[in-house]
Structure 1
Amino acid sequence: MSTPDFASLFPLPSADVLRALGERMREGLLLFDGKGNTSLVNRAARQMLDAEQSPVLALGAKLARFLPPAAMPQAKESGSWSGSLPLGERVVILQLYHQPGEGRDVYLALFRNLEGQEDYERELQQRHAELRQAYLRLNGTQEKLLQSEKMASIGQLAAGVAHEINNPIGYVHSNLGSLQEYLRSLFTVIEAYERALRAPDPKASIPEIDDIRSRLDIDFISRDLPQLMAESREGIERVTRIVRDLKDFSYSGRDESWKLADLHAGLESTINIIWNELKYKVTLERQYGELPMVECLPSELNQVYMNMLLNAGHAVAERGHIVVSSGVSGDEVWVEFKDNGAGISPELRQRIFDPFFTTKPVGSGTGLGLSISYGIINKHHGRIDLDSTVGEGSRFRIILPIRQPKG
């Protein structure tokens, strides 16, 4: 026994029947394609769009002008979009559905008037929840982007940091080899003294001891050993400082709270990390003023310092000069980075803080450094002033409040 065909039992209604059903609906109904061409609209939709006399074909395009920019792309991506929409003096709830067709996209819009206080409150609560979710997603994305840029920056500097660590480790290793020889010589002299003390006539062993001391150059060892130990200690402290600075710099800041910090300490920590990237092409001059402790997120400001210093270094073609200065002005502090590099043209100055904008060759920069720096300083209720002349160099001045505004 064959199964009856569904379409034969329940044939699809004609277009006239669909239009008649649509006219009985209290909700607005509008069927249109991606170009705004309308194929079906009912009276309620015309009233809500205030378009009783408008040509049917143009109503889809008219609705598209009222929609938020993300509505149709979101409906196309996920199949639907919903939201409140102001139409004249009324606010309607709009459900927008998408269906790909043969050679064109088809959209179905259903309108419903907001009626009564309960509807408004329900809609506001829903929109508030959606906005909160969007804010949380945006905030999480910003944190991930900041951490990603931090780690990308450290990755670019990894070879230089390794070089900075290898140098002190190298001479500490060499010094340990010398120390081993020195200890062997000293133990030989100690053994000679012990033999002399056990001998019947200790004074008779003095020429032998003097010979051993002269042959092993004990006088030189006694002079060189303190210097060798001091160099080794300095090397270990240098490695410890680099590792500590790297740890502080790469810290994500997710749980970092606002605190009073010494901006100069953060500057020195950052310079310590990136110095290998700069020292072969620039001289660095410090002109620090007396700064108070500043309420800030130190790890995030370190990211800004690094971006500023690296950009200044990249602006210098072969040999150049960078001046890092600081000072106080009223209830604000400032940190300035000045280079004598290529400078920035007025056209590019308008775009340098845009995300992903970079003048570096493809693969040499993400275009996020200055954009992230701008966001961090804005988060601190500060600003970045730029003064640049093509062929003479640039000056970036970061201005921060000493205490964050309350509330």
Structure 2
Amino acid sequence: MRSRLESDPANPAGSAVTETPDAARVPSVQTIQALSDRMLEGVLLYGADSRLLYANPSAHALCRECYPRDLASGLSLEQLLPLDALVQARASGRWNGHLSFGQDAILMVHLYFDQNEGGHFLVVMQDLRQIRFYEQDLLRRHAELNVRLTAAQEKLLQAEKLASIGQLAAGVAHEINNPIGYVHSNLGSLQEYLHSLFALIEAYERALRSADPRAMIPEIDQTRSRLDIDFISRDLPQLMTESREGIERVTRIVRDLKDFSRSERDESWKLVDIHAGLESTLNIIWNELKYNTTLEKRYGTLPPVECLPSELNQVFMNVLINAGQALGERGTIRVETGHEDDHVWVEIADSGPGIPPEAQQRIFDPFFTTKPVGKGTGLGLSISYGIVAKHHGRIDVDSRIGEGSRFRIVLPVRQPQPAA
């Protein structure tokens, strides 16, 4: 039934008048039966005298599997359900319960009673094995989804790593090119020094082969003076030291790049020195910072921390680069570390203009960035937040307009053990 308001000369106030719905809209008994025949749940309709009036195919199958007698042979309501179920249904209109059978068969049963038209019982049965099958299938699909999600997260993390290195590629190339350049120059000087030394050695050999070696001393002295052997003897050790330092510089940058870009699949949890990770990260990005940054380091005493080193290095790099970009033409970045109870913290503060309050609420959202188009992906801080959360830590942000920003990364010294 439904009601509507309508104007009527006898009812000017427009009171509610009921109308009978269109008979064509009411499903027929045949339609309801056709729908129940498609149900996976068993549906049975009994009269008040326990006489079976209707059963759908699923009900026939369940009763045939679980009961000694099937519905076709006259399975009564009292044989189908416990007596207390019928009593409770008559009293309250419904009963719910589970019926156990052999071979782990359990039926979840809902019994409803309506006393109109002489009284009828409606029984709805469901095989719990089927529910368990659906649950297992759902768990399997959930596990597959987790695997795909984890793989996607790994790809996103690796892509962001490579994007970060790509943004720093010019600076890293410059940092590598400088030592390579003076090592190459030193090798040219070394080649000239060797020619001079070989010439001096040849002069000594001639003197040794002559009848009067002492007579050759003036010639040897002239050769030493002409080739400036005294300068070579002073410059050669310095040249070799510079060259060695240059090669070590290149080796260190390449090693740091390799550690930074390592995939998560190639890395395991290990105890590492956080300060070494900070220095490694600063070594990679220094060319990005050195032109506008005064760097202050205040390192405390830290124990070895259980972590994924390359992922933490990416967090440090993202925060440091953001701090450097916030400085503008010139400013200060302070890197400070400390140890409190069973946690360590790394604080990176800048003297930039600060982050507006409305932006602070969104800085860890994926793809949110205050940088111009093309200057950032908006994933750096979001990925950093995820990495720190993965380490069971947190990132605290304190920023005031005109006073700069401070990011404190708090990490447990040891990762919590999973519950048994």
Is TM more than 0.5 here? yes
1:23 equivalent among 7, 32, 38: 32
1:63-109 CA-to-partner distances (Å, cap 9, x unmatched) read xxxxxxxxxxxxxxxxxxxxxxxxxx9xxxxxxxxxxxxxxxxxxxx
Give the drift of 1:255: 3.0
In our comparison, the structure showing a higher alpha carbon Rg is 2
Match of 1:68 in 2: none
2:252 pairs with 219, 238, 241, which one? Answer: 241
Tell me which amino acid in the other structure corresponds to 1:229.
M
Separation in 1, partners of 2:263, 2:323: 25
Give the equivalent residue in structure 1 for 2:12. Answer: none
Aligned counterpart, 1:264: 275
Q: Which residue of 2 aligns with 1:276?
A: 287
Post-superposition CA distance 1:138-193 (Å, at most 9, x none): 11110000000000000010000000000000000000010011000000000000
AA aligned to 1:290 is: T
Alignment correspondent of 1:380: 391
RMSD value, Cα: 2.1
Residue of structure 2 equivalent to 1:128:
139
Residue 400 (1) aligns with residue 408 (2): no
Distance in 2 separating the partners of 1:218 and 1:362:
59
Aligned residue number for residue 195 of structure 1 = 206
Query: 2:296 aligned with 1:294, yes or no?
Result: no
* CA spacing shift, 1:207–1:314, aligned 2, 3 Å: same
Shift of 1:285: 0.9
1:81-100 equivalences in 2 (<5 Å): none
> How much does 1:20 deviate?
7.1
Residues in 1 aligned to 2:174 and 2:291: alpha-carbon distance in whole angstroms: 13
How far 1:220 moved relative to its partner?
0.4
Aligned residue type for 1:177: G
Question: How far apart, CA to CA, are the structure 2 residues paired with 1:218 and 1:22?
Answer: 111
Q: CA contact under 8 A between 1:262 and 1:294: conserved in structure 2?
A: yes
Residue 264 of structure 2 aligns to a residue whose secondary structure is: coil
CA distance in 2, matches of 1:242, 1:391: 35
Residue number among 134, 141, 159 corresponding to 2:152 in the alignment: 141
Tell me how far apart the structure 1 counterparts of residues 28 and 185 of structure 2 sit (CA, whole Å): 92
Aligned to 1:74: none
Distance in 2 separating the partners of 1:180 and 1:227: 15
Q: How far 1:22 sits from its partner (Å)?
A: 4.0
Where 1:115 maps in the other structure, the secondary structure is: strand
Change in 2 beyond 3 A, CA 1:114/1:242: farther
For residue 328 of structure 1, what is the amino acid of its counterpart? Answer: H
Compute the displacement of 1:19 (Å): 7.3
- Tell me the CA shift for residue 364 of structure 1: 1.1
Secondary structure of 2:398's aligned partner: strand
Whether the 8 Å CA contact 1:260–1:295 is kept in 2: the answer is yes
| Residues 117 and 207 of structure 1: CA distance in aligned 2, closer, same or farther (over 3 Å) | same
Q: CA deviation at 1:243?
A: 0.4
Deviations along 1:331-368, one digit per CA (max 9) or x if unpaired, are 10000000000101111110000000000111111000
Aligned partner (choices 116, 119, 141) of residue 127 of structure 2:
116
**Which of 247-256 and 237-246 deviates more?**
247-256
TM-score after normalising by structure 2: 0.72
Q: Is 1:114–1:120's contact at 8 Å kept on the other side of the alignment?
A: no
Tell me, which stretches of 5 or more residues in structure 2 are unaligned? 1-23, 40-95, 97-123
In 2, distance between residues paired with 1:21 and 1:219? 115
Tell me how far apart the structure 1 counterparts of residues 279 and 224 of structure 2 sit (CA, whole Å).
46
The Cα of 1:21 is off from its aligned counterpart by 5.8
Residues 269 and 21 of structure 1: CA distance in aligned 2, closer, same or farther (over 3 Å): farther
Q: Deviations over 1:95-133 (max 9, x none)?
A: xxxxxxxxxxxxxxxxxx881321221111011011111
The answer for unaligned runs of 5 or more in structure 1 is 1-14, 29-88, 90-112
1:118 to 1:185, Cα distance in 2 relative to 1, 3 A = same
Partner of 1:318: 329
Query: 303, 307, 315: which one pairs with 2:318?
Result: 307
Identity in percent: 70
Residue 372 of structure 2, aligned match among 344, 361, 373: 361
Q: CA deviation at 1:257?
A: 1.0
| Matched length | 312
For 2:229, the equivalent position in structure 1 comes to 218
Using the alignment, how far apart are the partners of 1:370 and 1:146 within structure 2? 12
Is the alpha carbon distance of 1:314 and 1:116 closer, same or farther for their aligned partners in structure 2, counting shifts above 3 Å? Answer: same
Separation in structure 1 between the aligned mates of residue 361 and residue 408 of structure 2, nearest angstrom = 16
Measure the CA separation in 2 of the matches of 1:170 and 1:192.
Answer: 34
SS at 2:211's partner residue?
coil
Distance, in Å, in 1 between the alignment partners of 2:331 and 2:153 is: 34
